[in-house]
């Protein structure tokens, strides 16, 4: 079938929206009509050349859509179902899946840029191959996905809200619930208050943090963070960030600090600011190859912990339905996270806005 997609031909150049040919789904796959795709900073890393991927490629990993057609052997989804997308496939059989850490699944391998059979379903109209991103590629009006990366949402959630659960929400909430496992009454610092950082703040607030210290270089982000539960706001441009965070937490530093921005400097700040015995959690992605510095001497004496968190250390088929239900119950605020929607033809404007510091999350909505 013919549809449209935003194609990245090379780094540091605008995406090109053009008509493509989408081949039918193969065994274990489904064709999905994309309804919404989040404007996520992770895709920007590839656009800026911070990480490599086969080109040309259709990016986009945070999304939601309706199944239109299924391939042979598909049993878990059917045409007409709205699904949110799961970034990391879970084989269910490897060591990590069986011990409840499916985000580290190593039982599914395939070459970069293809589906599991090593081929692509995307073609330009001249016949040239276009690669997939994470087997999702939802910066398009239609996509082919493996069924194991499709999670039915149920009823009552608009697609531009549901899409966010696939990355920003599960990453932020999961980092708090699963990676850090914060205790009630803890002090928490969050460095970087974009879409993911706001979800860290919301999760820590929901789980009973005492002080919630938001850190950012944009006053608009800091004001917004207070709406999501932050008790303190620190402008990272105003002086010694580590000292300011410690001062906001009885002088000792928070029990937990989350780097939701992603750079060597912010990682170092998160680790330095937590109190002895505290935990720093790295969520944000720095450019591939970037290196931060931690003192082994201080690490040993302070008994601090530095942990990574990929997609919130989540169990997608357990955690994501719970988050969707919390939204239905009015206890999880997805509505304020969506600060602007864009048409597919406006995708470059959306990413320009992201780099200018748009609040929370922009969303591409297909059809306008």
pLDDT of residue 81: 96
Residue 90 buriedness (CB in 10 A; 0-12 / 13-18 / 19+): buried
290: alpha, beta or left, given left = phi > 0 and alpha = psi -120 to 50? beta
State the first-to-last Cα distance of the chain, in angstroms, to the nearest integer: 21
Residue 202 in this model has a pLDDT that exceeds 90: yes
Cα 316 off chain centre by? 13
Q: What is the mean pLDDT of residues 12-29?
A: 97
Dihedrals φ, ψ of 351, to 5°? -75, -25
The pLDDT mean for the chain works out to 94
Q: What is the mean pLDDT of residues 335-353?
A: 95
Residue bearing tokens 């009006």: 141
d(CA 146, CA 25): 9
d(CA 128, CA 367): 26
pTM greater than 0.85 (yes/no): yes
Q: What is the mean pLDDT of residues 5-20?
A: 97
Dihedrals φ, ψ of 348, to 5°? -70, -35
Do the bridges between strand 29-38 and strand 232-235 make them parallel or antiparallel, or are there none, so unpaired?
unpaired
Q: What confidence tens digit (pLDDT) does each residue in 319-332 have?
A: 999 999 999 999 99
Q: What is the mean pLDDT of residues 158-183?
A: 96
Residue 152 in this model has a pLDDT that exceeds 60: yes
pLDDT of residue 24: 97
Structural domains in the chain, sorted by start: 2-157+334-365 (3.90.180.10), 168-311 (3.40.50.720)
Residue 368 in this model has a pLDDT that exceeds 70: no
Residue 123 in this model has a pLDDT that exceeds 70: yes
28: alpha, beta or left, given left = phi > 0 and alpha = psi -120 to 50? left
pLDDT of residue 112: 83
Q: What confidence tens digit (pLDDT) does each residue in 53-104 have?
A: 899 999 999 999 999 999 999 999 999 999 999 998 888 889 999 999 999 9
Residue 175 in this model has a pLDDT that exceeds 70: yes
Residue 30 in this model has a pLDDT that exceeds 90: yes
pLDDT confidence of 287, banded at 50, 70, 90? confident
pLDDT confidence of 360, banded at 50, 70, 90? confident
List 7's β-bridge partners, or say none. 16, 58
Residue 107 in this model has a pLDDT that exceeds 80: no
Q: What is the mean pLDDT of residues 170-192?
A: 97
Other Cβ atoms less than 10 A from the Cβ of 55: the count is 14
pLDDT of residue 358: 76
pLDDT of residue 327: 95
Based on DSSP, count helices (H) and strands (E) in the chain, helices before strands: 11, 18
Alpha carbon of 40 to those of 153, 178, 237: distances in Å? 20, 22, 24
Q: What is the mean pLDDT of residues 293-318?
A: 94
Alpha helices in 20-77 (DSSP H): 41-47
Residue 249 in this model has a pLDDT that exceeds 60: yes
Residue 292 in this model has a pLDDT that exceeds 80: yes
pLDDT of residue 88: 87
Q: What is the mean pLDDT of residues 149-170?
A: 94
Q: Is 112 helix (H, G, I), strand (E, B) or coil?
A: coil
Q: What confidence tens digit (pLDDT) does each residue in 258-271 have?
A: 999 999 999 999 99
């Amino acid at each position: 079938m013919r549809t449209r997609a935003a194609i990245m031909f090379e780094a540091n150049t605008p995406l090109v929206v053009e008509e493509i040919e989408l081949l039918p789904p193969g065994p274990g796959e489904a064709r999905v009509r994309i309804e919404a795709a989040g404007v996520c900073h992770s895709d920007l890393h590839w656009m800026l050349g911070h990480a490599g991927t086969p080109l040309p490629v259709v990016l986009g990993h945070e999304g939601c859509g309706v199944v239109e057609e299924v391939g042979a052997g598909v049993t878990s989804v059917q045409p007409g179902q709205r699904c949110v997308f799961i970034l990391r496939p879970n084989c269910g059989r490897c060591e990590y899946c069986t011990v409840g850490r499916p985000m580290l699944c190593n039982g599914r391998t395939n070459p970069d840029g293809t589906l599991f059979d090593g081929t692509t379903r995307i073609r330009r109209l001249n016949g040239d191959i276009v690669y997939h991103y994470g087997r999702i590629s939802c910066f398009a009006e239609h996509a082919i996905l493996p069924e194991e990366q499709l999670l039915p949402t149920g009823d009552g959630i608009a697609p531009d809200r549901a899409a966010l659960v696939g990355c920003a929400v599960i990453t932020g909430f999961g980092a708090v619930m699963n990676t850090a496992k914060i205790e009630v009454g803890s002090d928490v610092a969050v460095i970087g208050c974009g879409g993911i950082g706001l979800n860290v703040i919301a999760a820590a607030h929901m789980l009973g943090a005492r002080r919630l210290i938001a850190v950012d270089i944009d006053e608009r982000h800091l004001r917004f963070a207070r709406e999501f539960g932050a008790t303190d706001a620190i402008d990272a441009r105003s002086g010694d960030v580590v000292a300011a965070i410690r001062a906001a937490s009885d002088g000792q530093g928070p029990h937990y600090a989350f780097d939701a921005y992603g750079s060597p400097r912010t990682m170092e700040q998160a680790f330095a600011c937590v109190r002895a015995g505290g935990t720093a959690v790295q969520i944000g992605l720095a450019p591939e190859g970037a290196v931060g510095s931690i003192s082994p001497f201080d690490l040993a004496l302070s008994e601090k912990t530095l942990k990574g968190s990929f997609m919130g250390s989540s169990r997608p088929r357990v955690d994501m339905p719970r988050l969707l239900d919390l939204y239905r119950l009015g206890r999880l605020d997805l509505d304020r996270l969506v600060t602007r929607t864009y048409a597919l033809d406006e995708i470059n404007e959306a990413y320009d806005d992201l780099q200018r510091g748009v609040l929370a999350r922009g969303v591409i909505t297909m059809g306008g």
